Chain A
């Protein structure tokens, strides 16, 4: 008898249930645990206090990213340059010490493989389709782009996974975001996910795991899929995923941690079986018409505050919900924006191209395509391009992209989280605006008083050239 049709999420979930308690709480096995310096020190301390070991150090990979300065890390004589901020230095040293003590593979700050944990995982083939992946970081959702069930956890859960290689979880509800038709020319995965968040809202996916479905995603590159899934959390969903296909398998084959030989073929067979069955039911379904997606930017301090670049800053009174009216008024006050101002008239002083959302090779190619032969506008004070990993940086340099950025007036940096969050020296000054390819435009996110406009790498590059928010299609003609 055929079994009930299941979704991709249900199949991965079912394959990882170790035990089910009478109340429905499950012990769920975790295949891959990524660790960085910010959310792990208290977890390792907890293990020490309780006299516990790391159950599966071989399924755990650590890399520093949040605190690391993105300025050069080695002096001319090849010795590491000390981290100036004593607290950052302490946290980075704690990761190195803890991974050595507990036998966990650690990618050093100066290793060529170092980078943002969500760029490194897939790049190393550590993240694989059909796996459960966790990290003490909400943008772990990114790994869903290769068909993994990946989600962010808190530090207590980090400790739980280190000690048991499992988590205690209840199944989430399932949500389908189906995108019909095709994206127009110059419209990128970032525009699409910002548009989706605008439609569903920042709590739209709460309690759900999103599966992104439709021909747009089948045609989308792996980098694009990682970008879309990355921002599932901004739509409230702890995880978002896309069915793994030949594009994923081709992309992963030969990567350091990927299976090889006969195991590769067995793995691919299993991965192919994971796609959502015809007739499987989702608890919630949202349909988006790709024709509605324009180059998209944020105007406020919530990722749902999105608008097409051709639109104007909204009037708070235009929102039906009173809470949203208040929030919009507060946002505009913080952002220093007048309702009715065309978005394309908003001047920006800072440009940030990077973050776990948009720092992969395709992102750097898209931005440099716009920047080629151009220079940043006079009013753009600071523009940085921060590759997501050392390997992305090398690849970009091999393609000559670094020269394009530098000739356009950008600084070409070392890999790390950089100006996405104000935890390292890369910050946006108070009262200044930043065209940013990152994922959050929260109050103070890029520095106290900093004003963030989220957008795609191509749009950020266009803003660098004109000095204001700009429809990149005008520069691509």
Chain B
């Protein structure tokens, strides 16, 4: 994962609530065996309508998406995060996120920023014409109009994003603890190991 620190630039003022993963990337785009190229299918049903924010030249090259409550609800498809990355999105700002989506975003170095609806409303307004800046270290979202919104983030996620941590490598470093757990489990709950002759 690439380290994340500050993200600054234009933001797409999407604003919709309960945006589900089928909207972010419809299922027919999920037949890929790679992580690349999903930006083409991102928000396909939204982009079918003329005048949508995603195809507005004003927001070309935007690195931030501002949206409504419960963003990313629905399926566990990480393709939703990959599609955003392919669009160039590095951070999503919303009042709340679905649990699985925010995890998937985090693992792909996409920062999910939770702010109250009033702050979202203000940022949607600013984003129409001007850039927005996110500072992960300072946990702040600012504009050039002196707006400053503080956001909370899980300290583990913050540290991983700032360092670009390889989570699997981190866990593998606890290999001894995992092995110890497995040995205890084999004694206490032996039926959980399936590597035995199965019943006919």
Contacts and interface: CB of A to CB of B under 8 A. Distances in A.
B199 A18 contact: no
A27 B178 contact: yes
Interface string B1-35: 00000000000000001101011001110111111
A206 B99 contact: yes
A154 B45 contact: no
B163 interface: no
A58 B20 CA distance: 34
B103 interface: yes
B104 A156 contact: yes
Contacts, number: 190
A175 to B, nearest CB: 13
A443 B74 CA distance: 12
Interface string A53-81: 00100110000001100000000000000
Nearest to A163: B168
Contact of A236 (B17, B34, B73): B73
Contacts of A138: 74-76, 100
Most buried by B among A39, A423, A442: A442
Interface in A62-107: 66-67, 85, 87-88, 90-91, 94
B27 A159 contact: no
B31 A203 contact: no
B172 A164 contact: yes
Nearest to B198: A256
A136 B76 contact: yes
A233 B185 CA distance: 29
A90 B27 CA distance: 16
B98 interface: yes
Interface residues of B, number: 57
A23 interface: yes
A207 B98 CA distance: 8
B22 A170 contact: no
B177 interface: yes
Interface string B52-86: 00000000000000001110011111100100000
B192 A421 contact: no
A445 B22 contact: yes
Contacts of B170: 168
A204 to B, nearest CB: 10
A59 B172 contact: no
Contacts of B198: 256-257
Contacts of A41: 33-34
Contacts of A19: 174, 177
Given A153-B76, A165-B178, A442 B20 contact: yes
B185 A29 contact: yes
A260 interface: yes
Given A443-B22, A443-B45, A444-B45, 7 more contacts: A29-B178, A42-B33, A52-B168, A203-B73, A258-B199, A266-B191, A448-B26
Interface of A: 18-19, 21, 23-25, 27, 29, 31, 38-39, 41-42, 45, 50, 52, 55, 58-59, 66-67, 85, 87-88, 90-91, 94, 126, 128, 131, 136-138, 140, 152-157, 159-160, 163-166, 168, 170, 172, 202-203, 206-207, 233, 236, 238, 254, 256-260, 263-264, 266-267, 270, 302, 323, 327, 421-423, 440, 442-445, 448
28 contacts: A18-B177, A23-B156, A31-B192, A38-B77, A42-B78, A58-B195, A91-B31, A91-B32, A94-B33, A156-B108, A160-B167, A163-B172, A166-B178, A168-B156, A168-B171, A170-B156, A172-B99, A203-B18, A203-B73, A236-B99, A323-B68, A327-B17, A421-B27, A423-B27, A443-B23, A443-B45, A444-B44, A448-B45
